[in-house]
Amino acid sequence: MSETQVKSAVKFVLGEQQIPTHWVNLMPDLPGEAPPPLHPGTKQPAGPDDLTPIFPLELIGQEVSAEAEIEIPDAVRDVLKLWRPTPLYRARRLERELDTPAHIYYKYEGNSPPGSHKPNTAVAQAYANASAGIKKLTTETGAGQWGSALAFACGLFGLECEVWMVGSSYDQKPYRRSMMETWGATVHRSPSELTASGRSQQEHPTGSLGIAISEAVEVAAQNADTNYSLGSVLNHVLLHQTIIGQEALEQMAMAGEEPDVVVACVGGGSNFGGLTFPFLRRVIRGDAGTRFIAAEPAACPTLTRGVYAYDFGDTAGLTPLMPMYTLGHDFVPPPVHAGGLRYHGDSPIVCGLVKGGMVEARAYRQNETFAAAVRFARAEGIIPAPEPAHAIRAVIEEADAAREAGEARVILFGLCGHGHFDLSAYDAYLAGRLEDPEFSQEDVQVALAGLPEAPALA
């Protein structure tokens, strides 16, 4: 692009040959030893063998890899071509609307077939399982984005797909179910009567990601030809998402700018890790001074109010214990509309970065988040999913701060999905019917009381 073109450009677009060839593994660059996951029964460090009943060896290898870069299989890159590379936008209209000297960029993942960043890992996971001879994948889904992504990916590699969808989202987003079924998946409302984990949670009819995970893991662990697939939290999932940040690095270079701050929402951490890890690696290696902000809902404030401790990834206690900020594995968040951010824990890597002060976490309430989303939609056109609307809320704060400082700060954020299936949430907001539930001090005490016995974390 010429200098004149860059000056007025709105989109920075890469060609198919620029889809990254490798995933970025941040693990070897992280300072100190990462606390290991623990076996849920023995509470001893969980080894690869503990994971084989539900994951294929290729993904287990990626989970514990010490390689800084891992090659992306050609079959996966071929599928990614359906929508990648994704565009980087300069939000010129939003900048004008906010009357800020800040330069705001967003990496848009909503043009994938399911409408979010989730297929970046769904495709990689479906391929690894199909190559290992697995016939079916089970999973949970919150807002429905992850379930749709896995349904889409399983269809491409000839796998069956069975999804437990969090009850409140199942009711709020019926067309997400239609989408999953169109791609050939079977969808159950969670808690269901089909599993012991679901039957034991019938007093929580709105469900939670923790309960839905238990249901999906239970079925995978009981069937040799079935594996489980997780849409976030685990190292290999964040690894698969790093194609986002690698493309964004190239596109920011095309724009001739260096971000001062990178912002992304966090549910389990995959969109955040995917966008930020390639940038974070440069900071760790001393090549940049970027700041990072993780945005989450005040109703499920894992990083800002959670306890840093070992906890289960699911409600029934079937998964390994992971070192993370947690609101307690039996926490059932209120049925807020940012379904994908209603998880009690977070990626251990992202939690370690927050704990170490490399990432700042901020929590926002529903109404201020939707106000930011509507402002964005009216300026830029795209209607954001409620999850990245939290990031937009943080971006507006940063843009305001840039105005007050009189500095043309460069802000990059992840617009990780569109909100076309979330319009009932927009309806509720526009009609003034959205509540603003917040996590109380009493909730913190309950979270602490429910933690499993495990070694304390430093």
Ligand X SMILES: Cc1ncc(COP(=O)(O)O)c(C=O)c1O
**Which residues would be at the binding site for ligand X (CB under 6 A)?**
116, 142-143, 145-146, 232, 265-272, 340-341, 385, 387-388, 416-417
Query: In terms of CB distance, is 197 or 241 closer to ligand X?
Result: 241
Q: How far is the CB of 305 from ligand X (least distance, A)?
A: 17
For the CB of residue 65, give the shortest distance to ligand X in the complex, in Å. Answer: 20
B/e letters for 77-93, b = 16+ CB within 10 Å, e = fewer, are: bebbeeebbbbbbbbeb
C-beta separation of 201 from 315 below 8 A: yes
Which residues does residue 23 pair with via DSSP β-bridges, in sequence order? 70
The burial class, CB within 10 Å (0-12 / 13-18 / 19+), for 394 is buried
Among the listed residues 58, 51, 61, the one whose alpha carbon sits nearest the alpha carbon of residue 75: 58
CB closer to ligand X, 134 vs 265: 265
DSSP 8-class letter at 391: H
Nearest-angstrom CA–CA distance, 13 and 22: 19
Q: Please give the residue whose beta carbon sits closest to ligand X in the complex.
A: 340
User: Dihedral of the CA atoms 265, 271, 273, 276 (nearest 10)?
Assistant: -70
User: Is the Cβ of residue 169 or residue 226 nearer to ligand X in the bound state?
Assistant: 169
3-state helix, strand, coil in the chain (%, to 5): 45, 15, 40
Q: Quick one: 124 or 402, whose CB is closer to ligand X?
A: 124
In the complex, minimum distance from the CB of residue 416 to ligand X, in angstroms, rounded to a whole number = 4
In whole angstroms, how close is the CB of 277 to ligand X at the nearest point? 13
The answer to whether 383 and 76 are in contact (CB under 8 A) is: no
Of the two residues 103 and 117, which places its CB atom closer to ligand X in the complex?
Answer: 117
- Provide the minimum distance between the beta carbon of 455 and ligand X in the complex, in angstroms, as a whole number: 26
Q: Among residues 351 and 402, whose Cβ is nearest to ligand X? A: 351
Closest distance of CB 5 from ligand X, Å? 31
Between 263 and 416, name the residue whose CB sits nearer to ligand X: 416
| Shortest Cβ 145–ligand X spacing (Å) | 3
Paired residues of 309 in beta bridges: 324
